[in-house]
Structure 1
Amino acid sequence: MLRLPPLPEPLRGAFMMSLRLAYNGTAEDGERMVAPLRTVGPGNPRHRKGHAVQLKRSVAELLDGMRPWQSDRRLVNNLAPVEAPDAAAIYGPERYTRLAAAKLTHDPATMFRINHNVVPAT
């Protein structure tokens, strides 16, 4: 059995988040964009009033600031099923056709079907 060291008291039973960002602009612009996020933590979010609302607002502002560099493609691992229920829409028609052919060859019984499943080609 794996035994992990006990968590410090403030972390026990708490939902925690660690956020890492990379920005290819100037340090000043990067600092300006993440400044709202810095006001949210560190600390236990359960003890901060309005934490979730402020965090959502800060993340939305950060994403808006990065919009000029955003592409149409999304990382599948970062999508919840409700965000993209149709795997063909996620991958696009050409990529989906290739994935469906590979699925037919390597997983015709659809053993691997969690998340954004690709149906084997027929």
Structure 2
Amino acid sequence: MIHLPPLLAASAVFYGVRWLRRGRVGTEDAARAIWSDAHPGDDVIRCAVSQDGRAALVESDWGMGVIGHNGRMVQRLDTVAVERSADGLTVHVPGDTVPLRLSQTEATDWHQRLSSSRPSIDAV
């Protein structure tokens, strides 16, 4: 049997629960909760969750953002590049590239919404 110090055990439980909670975006309500957790001052206006439930496009009073990596990446879209890919969209954030697997219809819709939302986004 493994014995963990109480603080280490409590941390493992806290982060484990948080990881499980963010395992999937799933629904619009879940996307709103994930976004609000990461950006508590933002008022979420609208969310579009991908068909597989692993990503979401979020429109808030601040602007547009994406939730990816099954809910573990929450990114405002002010300094990113977004491009179409064979599997959907690819979001290039500072220091990372995040592929979002989307249907062709979703990819077209999300790309259009992102392109028209903020001229500073480099949508190709």
TM-score, with structure 1 as normaliser: 0.29
| Structure having the higher Rg | 1
Indicate the structure with greater strand content.
2
Indicate the structure with greater helix content.
1
TM-score, with structure 2 as normaliser: 0.28
